[in-house]
Amino acid sequence: MDDYAIDVGCALSDIPTTSARNPKAGLFTSKSTFSSPRTANEVAIPLSDITCLDACGEELVVAVHANVKKGSVCETAWADGDGFPGASWAT
């Protein structure tokens, strides 16, 4: 993994998307680029950073994107889960 981007909201509408409703990882609130590739990473997002939390119930929407590499092949990767409503394969 070369980098990651994470965003958390109370609804899909809280996650930055394009006009076609595909997630826009470049606008996610938490992101980092690594100086050397990693196979895993842990990220803690304080509940106080989730501004909609006071207004939502128990469920949150978490979108996680990473750029990954195997040998010389680079790809994008999304965390597993329900998909976004756009034409992207992002979940």
Per-residue HEC secondary structure of 40-70 comes to: CCCCCCCHHHCCCHHHCCCCCEEEEEEEEEE
Tokens of 19: 């006009």
pTM for the model: 0.83
- Kindly report, residue by residue over 5-64, the tens digit of the pLDDT: 999 988 888 999 998 888 999 999 999 999 998 999 999 988 888 877 776 566 788 999
Return the domain boundaries, the chain: 3-78
Tokens of 26: 């470049």
Task: Please state the separation of Cα 80 from the chain's center in Å.
Answer: 11
